Amino acid sequence: MPILVVATGNPGKVQEMQAYLTDPELAAWQLQLKPAELDIEETGTTFLENAALKASQVAQALGEWAIADDSGLAVDALNGAPGLYSARYASTTEARIQRLLAEMQGQSNRQAHFICAIAVARPDGTIALQTEGICDGEILEEPRGSGGFGYDPVFYVPAHQMTFAEMPASLKHDISHRGLAFQALVPQLKALLAST
């Protein structure tokens, strides 16, 4: 059974990925969390570069297949910020949302995009697959909803007239940036598994 190491220290991320990889043809992959002591510095300049960096270095270090994602929020009026620094924009989720709303005050352009990049690396560290999912939305002037995490309460999706934090988990699972990235990845992963 091939092992697919998830290049993260977050056990919740493994569960989240497992939820997207439910196709019976992918049941052979066994997801494992990377060892805690294996720390990868995210020095890429794009989400795809960071995902590839994490997958490649973990794969090389362990000699196993590895998967990594990198994601964040890009706001048009803020020239793509917080972008790669989405998780480090402030010290807490609430502070990150408050900083974002403060920087958006008076902005008429509220367009924003959640972006998720995923990379899968072979045991030698070469990148086998890369995908990216983008969910377009708008930044509200105040938070709405109690679900989700991170910027979800202020990220409004006009097509569904809800924030990520107001959506049922099943809908967010399907239309989110991560959901779209995994929808693109799954057929490629199945083809890869069939050829290994």
Q: Which residues are catalytic?
A: 70
How many other C-beta atoms can be found within 10 angstroms of the C-beta atom of residue 88?
A: 11
Fill in the amino acid letter for 61: A
The rounded distance, in Å, linking the Cα atoms of 61 and 125 is 8
Which two structure tokens, joined as six digits, stand for 62?
């362990």
The torsion angles phi and psi of 18, rounded to 5 degrees, stand at -55, -40
CA angle 169, 84, 140 (to 5 degrees): 50
Q: Tell me the two tokens of residue 118.
A: 């995923």
- Give yes or no for a contact between 150 and 93, defined as CB atoms under 8 angstroms apart: yes
